[in-house]
Chain A
Amino acid sequence: MENTEIKGPEIACSAGPVRDGTQDGTQEDRSHVFSYRGCDGASSSISREDLDRAFDERFPARMKEKLSAARVAIAGLGGLGSNIAVSLARSGVGHLLLVDFDVVDVTNLNRQMYLIPHLGMPKTDALRQILSQINPWLDVQACQVRVTRENAPGLFGHWPIVCEAFDRPDQKAMLTTALLAQCPDTVIVSGNGMAGLGDANDIRTQQKMRRLYVCGDGETDSTAGAGLMAPRVAVCAGHQANKVLQLILGPDSPVR
């Protein structure tokens, strides 16, 4: 176990590789091998080199270097945030910060990545556990804290890319305003409008301000009666994760 506690003035965060704390897998300290129970019930294992090789067969080495070094924060671990985190973990983004105050609820199961055994668990812990079974060697920090205008710059100011994935519109506006005004080195990728059953093609990615990309249809409002359904939420989260990868890998990347 390599978990360390990082204590700020108001918040406690856990940090480190996600390979500990899984239900079905364990990993010996400093080992590059992740052990798990296979589909036949027998004990099995996968190594870090196995994952690297699978990536290398498909993508150039330079891409892996950039992705492994990339640092992305996700604010809100609901339908958008949990889907974004899984996409980025599968893509090999090396350093993630997960922030949410809430615990997994039965109403989350219709669109969020969590499973029934996660009910009642902090979303930060549940998502770390899910990510650990996708890539046990990612550096995943998690903060179970409610984001406010006051703590947002301290939480996110050192992260070059922040995905805004909150549910409430006032929280979205609060975080986006705070980061744009106070964190000059942070690019924000926000979700705005993905409720209901409208055409998935209405969801798009637009650069709205110099350091702000917005994904969504900009219109459908979950607080105005249109419920959130898994497909459109996943489409929007996919837009956000894709923009993050473009920012990390693109030739004109504004990200260090």
Chain B
Amino acid sequence: MVKINGKEENAAGLCVMDYLRQAGFSPDVVVVERNLAIIPREDLDKVILQDGDSVEILRFVGGG
């Protein structure tokens, strides 16, 4: 199981990009932190989620 934004999810084995798409996040408007390390945009499709990972996803909306 992977802890994503505080919730245990069955996402181990997925790359981060696939998880984002599956969960309805646009990869261009999120900041993703995995085990306290930021994942750069170009690595979202390279990093594979592992059992026990802890992930924070922050989604930005427009306005400023």
The chain A residues found within 8 Å of chain B, CB to CB, are 76, 78-81, 149, 165-170, 172-174, 176-177, 180-181, 190-195, 208-210, 212, 214, 216, 218-224, 226, 228, 233
The answer for the CA separation of A226 and B62 in the assembled complex, in Å, is 10
* A226 nearest CB neighbor, chain B only: B63
Which chain B residues border A173 with CB–CB below 8 Å?
A: 28-31, 60
Which residues of chain B have a CB within 8 Å of any CB of chain A?
28-33, 36, 38, 40-41, 56, 58-64
13 interchain pairs (CB within 8 A)?
A: A169-B61, A172-B29, A173-B30, A177-B41, A180-B33, A180-B38, A181-B38, A191-B63, A191-B64, A210-B36, A212-B31, A214-B58, A223-B61
How long is the Cα–Cα vector from A195 to B64 in the complex, in angstroms?
8
What's the minimum C-beta distance from B28 to chain A, rounded to whole angstroms? 4
Among residues of A, the one whose C-beta sits closest to the C-beta of B42 is A149
Identity of the chain A residue whose Cβ is nearest the Cβ of B27 in the assembled complex: A173
Minimum distance in angstroms from A46 CB to a CB of chain B: 33
Cross-chain contact of B62 among A190, A212, A214, A222 (Cβ < 8 A): A222
